[in-house]
Structure 1
Amino acid sequence: MHMDTHEYLDFEDVLIKPRRSSINSRQEVDLTRSFKTKSGRVLNGVGVIAANMDGVGTFSMAKALAQEKMFTALHKFYTLEQWVAFAGENAAILPYVFITIGISEAELEKLERILEAIPVLTNICVDIANGYSAHFLPHVAKVREKFPGKVLMAGNVVGAEMSEALVQAGADIVKVGIGPGSVCTTRKMTGVGVPQFSAIVECAQAAHALGGWCVGMGAVPVWATSPKL
């Protein structure tokens, strides 16, 4: 048995130390930026993405966040028919949404049908609660092989080793977080997880070293864009 004595921090454990700034008003701040991915695509917008929880990653959430150029990972329970109807009425916000699937063959087939019906969709999220499952990395690699030109986000993981493995398997974005959210009982019920701030820092540094990005998942997470965190 190995005991890790390293100090891990949650967001409640840290504050942002202010520094001098030339900005006179918060109205002058522009949060939009371009995220160039390994797949060759560029995500343009504000680095905030709503998680693919069934009560959070909804069509209505996507509509609201897209108005502010923010992203939404839609939950995986929408049908093909619902996707087609949504896309037909909301073509302008499709660059701000991710299609979510798990690791079953049925979900992969569903993804193929959705992308065949709506080829302009560019963003995919492969999501399982524990990204350390032996079946996960091969599945991510399989999705990447099938859709080489799409933006691929995959997780959840909480450390450098799996972040590196996911980027090497084809993920553009590493999805971070096991047991971090206020409504998630994973850590309390199983004793599994890593405090989210430290997990994001570690995963971001590993992903950036290989040209990938990192996003810390909660109800409304933020991009971990700085390898210097």
Structure 2
Amino acid sequence: MRIEDGVKLDYKDVLIVPQRSDIPSRTKVNLIRKFKFKHSRRILTGLPVIAANMDATGTMEMADALFKHKMFTALHKHYEPKQLVDFFSKYKDKRWKYTFYSLGIGDFDKLVNVRSIISDMDFPYLVNLDVANGMTEAFVQALKALRKLCPNSVIMAGNVVGANMAEHLILCGADIAKIGIGPGSCCQSRIKTGVGFPQLSAISGASFAAHGLKGHVCGDGGCTRVGDICKGLAAGGDFIMIGGLLAGTDECSGKWKYKGCYEMGLTSEYYKEHREEYKTGFIFYGMASEEAQEKYNGGLSNYKAVEGKSVTIPYKGPVENIIREIKGGLASACTYVGASKIKDLPKCASFVRCTQQENTVFNNE
């Protein structure tokens, strides 16, 4: 039996240590970062948080809300070509530079089709090659083919863990290696397979390797609160991808739960017209869940296990509420450690291991 030495850490295992700071106010922190990429040579400027390419959160509505704050969205893979053409044909300066076109290794024909209709060799500006397990030779070959097809695109590829695999993706054409196996809020791969890697250590190790090759990394999944985004960036992540934190906002796509008209004492006619005002919850599921397999693949194949779950979460209102919390949390974290720019957060931050994150006395109130 082979066991790696040293304890590997997740977000819940650490806190960022406060440092002496010369920053007088959160308003003085620059949350916008400029990126220059190894292969595409393109330059991106933005706040390094990405909405995950789940069908709930990777929506066009989410993209339009987030780009107003220079935040990014990875569209889900299941849009029809016409929808993609219509979306990317408008507001090119915003949608192209803040929205990732997502595809799997079997979706190249659709990309070629959409690209031919848009008729611009710069499309897609950002592309996300996404599979659950990016540590296979088939995935690496698909990445090489995508880089050949889209030589000028910023390519994010994954998911993988480990310094060696992050390096390999960068060397094979990825500008950004997407890091994370099993940390998602609705992912059950670790339960069903026993496979995974604690996310904070995964980001730290991969970023050290990728940065040595002038590559970048995106930590995908594992964030249960805004502070985890701060920790992921402080650990060396260039981007952090989130799904569950955004789920349940108005910009999500999927099934909603509502208060009934009788429950509210309303007439059925009024209720039909104003039902959107009475949202109470959102049904959120992982892309390896039984619900997703039924929706997109006609059911679960007999050789697969269900590696995702479905949950009902409270309605959160417009995504602007979450964006405000993210921006405020990041600015405050930078202020606590003396980082005037979000790019400097990893240089200024250090971590302490802990057994408790917060005072829980009122958690059940």
**Shorter-normalised TM-score: what interval?**
over 0.9
Determine the C-alpha separation between the residues in 2 that align with 1:57 and 1:77: 10
Q: Is the 8 A contact 1:50 1:219 kept in 2?
A: no
1:216 aligns with 2:219: yes
Confirm whether residue 155 of structure 1 aligns to residue 158 of structure 2.
yes
Q: Which residue number in structure 2 is paired with residue 188 of structure 1?
A: 191
RCO higher in 1 or 2 (8 Å CA, sep ≥ 6)? 2
Tell me the alpha carbon deviations over residues 91-147 of structure 1, each in whole angstroms, 9 at most, x when there is no partner: 33321000111111xx11111222233334301110110111220111101100111
Report how far residue 76 of structure 1 moved. Answer: 0.5
Determine the structure 1 residue equivalent to 2:55. Answer: 54
The 2-side partners of 1:176 and 1:189 are apart by 20
Q: 2:61 is aligned with what amino acid?
A: S
Distance change >3 Å, CA 148–CA 167, structure 1 → 2: same
Question: What is the one-letter code of the residue matched to 2:101?
Answer: I
- Aligned pairs (5 A) from 1:127-138: 127-138=130-141
Report the secondary structure of 2:181's partner residue: coil
Corresponding residue number in structure 2 for 1:78? 79
Number of residue-to-residue matches in the alignment: 227
- Matching residue of 2:314: none
SS at match of 1:40: coil
Greater shift, 26-35 or 69-78, is seen at 26-35
Q: Are the counterparts in 1 of residues 183 and 222 from structure 2 also a CA contact under 8 Å? A: no
The equivalent of 1:34 in structure 2 is: 34
**Aligned match of 1:2:** 2
Deviation at 1:5, TM superposition (A): 3.2
Alignment correspondent of 2:19 = 19
Shift in alpha-carbon separation, 1:19–1:84, aligned structure 2, 3 A: same
**Alpha-carbon contact 1:174-1:213 (below 8 Å) kept:** yes
Cα distance in 2 between the residues matched to 1:25 and 1:117: 48
- Does the residue aligned with 1:15 lie in a helix, a strand or coil? strand
Per-residue Cα deviation, 1:39-64 (whole angstroms, up to 9, x for no partner): 11011111111111111111111111
* CA deviations over 1:127-184 (Å, ceiling 9, x no partner): 1101112201111011001111110000000101111110010000000011012211
Quickly say closer, same or farther: Cα 1:121–1:138, change in 2 above 3 A.
Answer: closer
Name the residue aligned to 1:110. Answer: 110
Preserved CA contact (<8 Å) 2:199 2:222:
no
**Residue 56 of structure 1 contacts residue 219 of structure 1 at CA under 8 Å; is this kept in 2?**
no
SS where residue 35 of structure 1 aligns?
strand
Q: Deviation at 1:197?
A: 0.3
Instruction: List runs of 5+ in structure 2 lacking aligned partners.
Output: 224-228, 239-342, 351-365
Which residue matches 2:88? 87
* In structure 2, C-alpha distance between the alignment counterparts of 1:170 and 1:70, rounded to whole Å: 24
User: 1:164–1:139: structure 2 CA closer, same or farther, 3 Å change rule?
Assistant: same
Q: Percent identity?
A: 46
- Determine the C-alpha separation between the residues in 2 that align with 1:117 and 1:18: 52
TM-score by length of 2: 0.59
Aligned to 1:175: 178
Q: 3-state SS of the aligned residue for 2:137?
A: coil
- What do you get for the CA RMSD once the two structures are aligned? 1.8
Max Rg structure: 2
Contact 2:105–2:142 under 8 Å retained in 1:
yes
C-alpha contact (below 8 Å) 2:184/2:222 kept by paired residues: yes
- Alignment partners' CA distance in 2, 1:151 and 1:95: 10
Q: Contact 1:51 / 1:219 at 8 angstroms: preserved in 2? A: no
Within 1, Cα distance between the matches of 2:128 and 2:50?
12
Provide the rounded CA distance (Å) in 1 between the counterparts of 2:116 and 2:218. Answer: 27
Instruction: State the Cα distance separating 1:219 from its structure 2 match.
Output: 7.4
Q: CA separation in 2, counterparts of 1:82 and 1:43?
A: 25
